[in-house]
Amino acid sequence: MNTKTAFSVIAPAKLNLFLHINARRDDGYHELETLFTFLNFGDTLDFSVNEAPTILITGDTKGIADCDNLIYKAALLLKNHCGISSGVKINLTKRLPMGGGVGGGSSDAATTLLALNKMWNTQLNIDELANLGLQLGADVPVFIRGKSAIAHGIGEQLVDVELEQKWYCVVHPNQHVSTAKIFTHPDLKRDTPKISGDWRTHKLTNDCEPLVKKLCPEVEKTLQWLLKYAPSKMTGTGSCCFVEFASQVQAQDVLDNLPHTWQGFVASSANVSPAHTELAAIFDQ
Ligand SMILES: C[C@](O)(CO)[C@H](O)COP(=O)(O)OP(=O)(O)OC[C@H]1O[C@@H](n2ccc(N)nc2=O)[C@H](O)[C@@H]1O
Ligand SMILES: Nc1ncnc2c1ncn2[C@@H]1O[C@H](COP(=O)(O)OP(=O)(O)OP(=O)(O)O)[C@@H](O)[C@H]1O
Q: pLDDT tens track of the chain, all 285 residues?
A: 466 889 999 999 999 999 999 999 999 999 999 999 999 999 999 999 999 999 999 999 988 999 999 999 999 999 999 999 999 999 999 999 999 999 999 999 999 999 999 999 999 999 999 999 999 999 999 999 999 999 999 999 999 999 999 999 999 999 999 999 999 999 999 999 999 989 999 999 999 999 999 999 999 999 999 999 999 999 999 999 999 999 999 999 999 999 999 999 999 999 999 999 999 999 987
Q: To the nearest 5 percent, what fractions of the chain are helix, strand and coil?
A: 30, 30, 40
- Give the pLDDT confidence score for residue 2 in this predicted structure: 64
Distance CA(214)–CA(210), nearest Å, equals 6
Using CB atoms within 10 Å of the CB of residue 277, give its burial: 0 to 12 exposed, 13 to 18 middle, 19+ buried. Answer: middle
Name which residue sits closest to atom 2 of ligand 2, judged by CA: 105
Which of 30, 55, 70 for mutating ligand 2's site (highest number of atoms within 8 Å of CB)? 70
CA-to-CA dists, residue 236 to 13, 79, 102, 188, 255, angstroms = 11, 30, 7, 13, 21
Name which residue sits closest to atom 12 of ligand 2, judged by CA: 105
CA-to-CA dists, residue 274 to 40, 209, 229, angstroms = 6, 28, 27
Q: What is the pTM of this model?
A: 0.97
Q: List the one residue out of 43, 40, 39, 107 whose CA is nearest residue 74.
A: 107
Name which residue sits closest to atom 3 of ligand 1, judged by CA: 236
CA of 10 to the centre of ligand 1 (A): 22
Q: How many CA atoms lie within 13 A of 61 on its CB side?
A: 16
CA of 30 to the centre of ligand 1 (A): 8
DSSP 8-state symbol, 262: S
CA of 243 to the centre of ligand 1 (A): 23
CA of 220 to the centre of ligand 1 (A): 22
| Residue list, ligand 1 pocket, CB within 6 Å | 16, 19, 28-30, 32, 34, 101, 106, 137-139, 154-155, 179-180, 183, 236-237
DSSP 8-state symbol, 142: H
Query: Contact 156/143 with Cβ under 8 angstroms?
Result: no
- Distance from the first to the final alpha carbon of the chain: 15
Which of 18, 134, 139 for mutating ligand 1's site (highest number of atoms within 8 Å of CB)? 139
- Cβ 237 under 6 angstroms from ligand 2: yes
- ipTM, 2 dp: 0.95
- Cβ 110 under 6 angstroms from ligand 2: no
